[in-house]
Amino acid sequence: MKFEDASALVSQVKHWHHRIELLPGLVTPGSYDPAFLLEKLRLPARLDGSRVLDVGTSDGYFARELWRRGAAVSAVDYRGKADHGYWVTEAVSGMEVAYHKQNVYDLSPAALGTFDTVLLLGVLYHLPDMLRAIHLMHSLTAKHLFIETHCENTAAPDTAYARYYKGSTLGGDPTNFWSPNRRCVLDMLEDAGFEIDRDEAWSDRLFVACTKAERRPGVFPKFSVAYGTT
């Protein structure tokens, strides 16, 4: 696509969340630059033959990047393509990614299969039932799960807790529900059946890389029992 044509498409989007260099010199006016988070994933340069699920894809920064590395990518968002910048990212990049306008809680391995890598970046604190969401991610994950979330990092680091935010009191955004602390996120992931590989907390954010673990003998599958699944 010509630079002028691509630039015209970018200008049609009222608000860009992701800052994406769609063409050399053409960068979307996003309020958030995810490049630093991509580095934290430590993904290989090539992902050929790998299936990736990008939950909460927004404007498609990560879906595009993983598609460019050769992965078979499925992207999920509660909005349609035309409701944010995703359609422009797709059109300019020419990327072939399966897009699902779907609620997180409606995702299932029966419909989508399982994925070598699942991304849940900037999503967890927007979900009223964090435990159920993590349990669902476990059912969709074949190998690796990456989570990045708003995080309460100010007090009692050894005690697992989550702060609930009424209305739009967190960042003026009524879609924000929780700010779990690091210990809370790690404990939820471990109880859901993940092994923590590494994590990093900074400011009011937390990043966790984890691997799906084999079911451990003698460990009560509390999430599966709670949500009526095995």
39, burial (CB in 10 Å: exposed 0-12, middle 13-18, buried 19+): exposed
| pLDDT tens, position by position, 13-44 | 999 999 999 999 999 999 999 999 999 999 99
How much is the pLDDT for 230?
A: 54
Q: Please state the rounded mean pLDDT for residues 175-202.
A: 96
Percent of the chain with pLDDT over 90: 90
| pTM score, whole prediction | 0.95
61-76: pLDDT as tens digits = 999 999 999 999 999 9
Residue 217 has pLDDT above 80, yes or no: no
* Chain centroid, CA 207 distance in Å: 11
Q: How far is CA 108 from CA 17, 20, 67, 74, 79, in A?
A: 27, 30, 22, 13, 18
pLDDT at 33: 97
Q: In whole angstroms, what is the distance from residue 198 CA to residue 42 CA?
A: 11
- Residue-wise pLDDT for 99-146, tens only, equals 999 999 999 999 999 999 999 999 999 999 999 999 999 999 999 999
pLDDT bucket at 218, cuts 50 / 70 / 90:
confident
Task: Look at 29 and 214; give whichever has higher pLDDT.
Answer: 29
> Percent of the chain having pLDDT more than 70?
100
> What is the CATH number assigned to the segment(s) 34-226?
3.40.50.150
Q: Which of the four pLDDT bands, split at 50, 70 and 90, describes residue 229?
A: confident
pLDDT range class, residue 94, cuts 50, 70, 90: very high
Q: Domain residue spans in the chain?
A: 34-226
